[in-house]
Amino acid sequence: MGSSTISLGLGLGGGKAATSSGTAGGGGSVFNNSLTFPIIQVFDTEAEFIDQTNAPDYTIVHAKDTDRLYVWEGSAWYLYNND
Q: Cβ(42)–Cβ(64) under 8 Å?
A: yes
Among the listed residues 52, 1, 38, 36, the one whose alpha carbon sits nearest the alpha carbon of residue 22? 1
Total domains in the fold of the chain: 1
Q: Is 49 inside a domain boundary? A: yes
Q: Residue 44: its pLDDT value, please?
A: 96
Q: Is 22 inside a domain boundary? A: no
What is the reported pTM? 0.55
Q: Is 28 inside a domain boundary? A: no
Q: Where in the sequence is the domain holding 65, given as residue range(s)?
A: 1-10+38-83
CATH number of the domain within which 64 lies: 3.40.1620.70
Q: Residue 43: its pLDDT value, please?
A: 94
Q: Is 30 inside a domain boundary? A: no
Q: Is 5 inside a domain boundary? A: yes
Q: Residue 83: its pLDDT value, please?
A: 62
DSSP 55: P
pLDDT along the chain (83 residues), means of 10: 45 36 52 73 94 88 93 91 67
Q: Residue 62: its pLDDT value, please?
A: 94
Q: Is 6 inside a domain boundary? A: yes
